Amino acid sequence: MSKSLKKRATKKDQLIRLLGTKAGRDIKALSAKLGWQQHTTRAALSRLRKAGYEVAADVPASGGGTKYRIVSVPAPEVAPAKPSEHMKATAPAQTPASEAPTVGA
C-alpha cells in the first residue's frame, strides 16, 4: 500500500548534472538532452549564474561550439541564529503602559 516516493530529477537538476563534467557541454548537446530550444538553454544558464553557480564558457581552439561547465556551486544559505539566553537576559525590559510614569502629575 505504501509506495516509495522517489524524488524526480527536475530539468534544473539534470542541467546541473550535465554541466558538472570536466569537459562540459555545448548548447546544442544540452538542448538536445533536455528537449529545450537553444535560447531556453541559454536562459537556464543565466538563471544558474544568478543563483550563484559559477558557469565557465570554454571556447575550443580548434573551433566548434562553446563548452559550458560548472566551476563552483553556491554555498548553502544559513538560517539566522536565534538570540541566546544571555542576550535575552541583558535586553531592557518593557514597561507596561499602565505602569508608565505620568508627565506633569
| Per-residue pLDDT tens digits for 78-98 | 767 676 665 555 555 565 666
> What topology does CATH give the domain 11-73?
Arc Repressor Mutant, subunit A (1.10.10)
pLDDT category of residue 8 using cuts at 50, 70 and 90: confident
How far is Cα 25 from Cα 18, in angstroms, rounded to an integer? Answer: 7
For β-strands 54-58 and 25-26, DSSP reports them as unpaired
CA distance 50 to 44: 10
Q: What are 10-68's pLDDT values in tens digits?
A: 999 999 999 999 999 999 999 999 999 999 999 999 999 999 999 999 998 888 889 99
Phi, psi at residue 54, to the nearest 5°?
-95, 110
C-alpha–C-alpha distance, residues 25 and 99, integer Å: 70
